[in-house]
Amino acid sequence: MDAALRLEQCAVAATENRVLVVQALSGALHPQTPQELLVRLAGRMNRVTLYRILDLLVERGVAARHNADGRAFRYCLGQGAHGHSHFHCTRCGATQCLNPRLLEPGLSRILSGLPMQVDMAEITLGGVCEACQHD
């Protein structure tokens, strides 16, 4: 999806810097630390501006923030009706975003049985990733 469109769908004005951050997030295959994002942005933004934009994106539901390994916060684009979920490899420490479409059907079934109104559900699966299984 177009970065500017994604921002506008979440009622965030698509400024140049915000578009750059969304593009940096969408080009990544795994959740990004702010440090990784700064590298991807190649000096086009300072740290303070980046943090401010990330906070805004999380607040408006454009991006998700999580710390699967209990260390640095990582950011990725939050897709899916209830945000999305991750897989954390306990062997190599890598975290991957899971396709929301894989979990959404089961999640919807679980949530529909709950009396609460659930707006977000973040599931972190842990285990051994595909690459590490072949080691």
Check: CB of residue 35 under 8 Å from CB of residue 75.
Answer: no
Percentage helix, strand, coil, to 5, in the chain?
Answer: 40, 15, 40
- 91 binding Zn ion? (CB under 5 A): yes
Contact 85, 98 (CB under 8 A): yes
When the beta carbons of 56 and 132 are compared against Zn ion, the nearer one is 132
Q: How far is the CB of 75 from Zn ion (least distance, A)?
A: 8
Q: How far is the CB of 48 from Zn ion (least distance, A)?
A: 24
| 132 is a contact residue toward Zn ion (CB under 5 A) | yes
Question: Considering the rule CB under 5 A, would residue 47 count as an interface residue with Zn ion?
Answer: no
The answer to whether 54 contacts Zn ion (rule: CB under 5 A) is no
| Residue recorded with tokens 């980046």 | 50
Contact criterion met (CB below 8 Å) for 69 and 48:
no
Q: What tokens were used for 25?
A: 């997030």
Closer by beta carbon to Zn ion, 20 or else 129: 129
Q: Is 7 in the site for Zn ion (CB under 5 A)?
A: no
List interacting residues with Zn ion (CB under 5 A): 31, 76, 89, 91-92, 97, 129, 132
